[in-house]
Amino acid sequence: MKAKKTLAGLALVGAIALTASGCAGGGTPAGGGGDDVITVGFAQTGSESGWRSANTESMKEAFSEANGFNLIFNAADNKPEAQIAAVRSFINQGVDAIVLAPIVTDGWDDVLQEAKDAGIPVILEDRTVSASEDLYASWIGLDFEKEGETAGEWVAENFGSTPTNLVILEGTTGSSAATDRATGFATAIEGTDITVLDSQTGNFTRAEGKTVMEGFLQKYGSQINLLFAHNDDMGLGALDAIKAAGLTPGTDIKIVTIDAVKDGMTALADGEFNYIVECNPLLGEKVAEVVKKVVDGESVDKQYIVEDQAFDQEQAKAALPDRKY
């Protein structure tokens, strides 16, 4: 992948607060474990959604002391500069491997080169980067473009032959999830009778999804027939805004989202959402497997894509009782 310019102003002064997770006794200090303990620094985006919380728990369970790991965990509160500083801190601590869920795509060239120079392999989890592929060992995640395409295909099939006004709640600007989902969705609805009235970021959060949807409703009102949200949490925030405006979500305004966390699936089962494309957050076990192989010097694939499903109302009702997230 083509390397891009580093984000400006990323130099941070001061310590990064890192929390060792999943260790009842506090774990082994970074770089100081025994031969059988792998010390891993995990740089998470933050805790912006139900999906992210489930993803974090999956990672903590997989990188447990019982599984032979000492995990150093940091959530950057969706601040790219803080996440880069966390990765640098992991390098300075001499961890055995770094797992990174990059907030944005660009700006990683320098710090990933620093990790490579230090002999510390980096494994990408969930999202991708624009840096050269030789700066990381592997990526484990989902096909975001396919998720957007699947959502768009359902929209095109159900609304594409009728004049339909659509608004879109985008994920975090610059993230691979938002960029790829937007691309896939736009491709799928191209040539239909669907008109995109507006598209703005809600940063993958319920609160911002509600705020942006309130703005859409004030501006366009009953012109809006359909909402596509890049994740469930923004869709759930929008749902609250739609109700507050005296409209019925799922009926007056159809709602299509991506993630399939329990709150979203419940809204779908209740008829307040109309369609959800899954984005499986339970990546921890696969990531831990790849980390062990990389640290042991074994060869791994450059990417591992986890399969997703999609749900309508009846499928959501059937899936909810056994849903793990």
Which pLDDT score, from 0 to 100, does residue 107 have?
Answer: 97
- Same domain for 159 and 134: no
- Same domain for 285 and 137: yes
User: In sequence order, which ranges of 78-220 are alpha helices (DSSP H)?
Assistant: 80-93, 109-117, 144-159, 176-189, 206-220
Which pLDDT score, from 0 to 100, does residue 68 have?
Answer: 98
- Same domain for 237 and 128: no
Per-residue pLDDT tens digits for 134-162 = 999 999 999 999 999 999 999 999 999 99
Per-residue pLDDT tens digits for 285-301 = 999 999 999 999 999 99
Q: What is the mean pLDDT of the chain?
A: 91
Q: What is the CATH number of the domain that holds 127?
A: 3.40.50.2300
The larger pLDDT score, comparing residue 218 to residue 307, is at 218
- Same domain for 259 and 172: yes
In a domain, 316, yes or no: no
Report pTM.
0.85
3-class state of residue 216 by DSSP: helix
In a domain, 323, yes or no: no
Which pLDDT score, from 0 to 100, does residue 45 have?
Answer: 97
In a domain, 313, yes or no: no
Q: How confident is the model at residue 11 (pLDDT cuts 50, 70, 90)?
A: very low
Which pLDDT score, from 0 to 100, does residue 216 have?
Answer: 98
Which pLDDT score, from 0 to 100, does residue 324 have?
Answer: 84
- Same domain for 272 and 166: yes
In a domain, 317, yes or no: no
Q: How confident is the model at residue 126 (pLDDT cuts 50, 70, 90)?
A: very high
User: Are the C-beta atoms of residues 54 and 47 closer than 8 Å to each other?
Assistant: no
On the 0-12 / 13-18 / 19+ scale of CB atoms within 10 A, 297 is exposed
Q: Which domain holds residue 194?
A: 144-279
In a domain, 13, yes or no: no
In a domain, 41, yes or no: yes
Which pLDDT score, from 0 to 100, does residue 35 have?
Answer: 59
Per-residue pLDDT tens digits for 23-80 = 222 333 333 344 589 999 999 999 999 999 999 999 999 999 999 999 999 999 999 9
- Same domain for 227 and 173: yes
Cα distance between residue 208 and residue 213, in whole Å? 8
Which pLDDT score, from 0 to 100, does residue 15 have?
Answer: 34
3-class state of residue 20 by DSSP: strand
In a domain, 3, yes or no: no
Number of domains, the chain: 2
- Same domain for 120 and 149: no
- Same domain for 148 and 272: yes
In a domain, 1, yes or no: no
- Same domain for 180 and 201: yes
- Same domain for 158 and 137: no
Q: How confident is the model at residue 4 (pLDDT cuts 50, 70, 90)?
A: very low
Q: How confident is the model at residue 14 (pLDDT cuts 50, 70, 90)?
A: very low
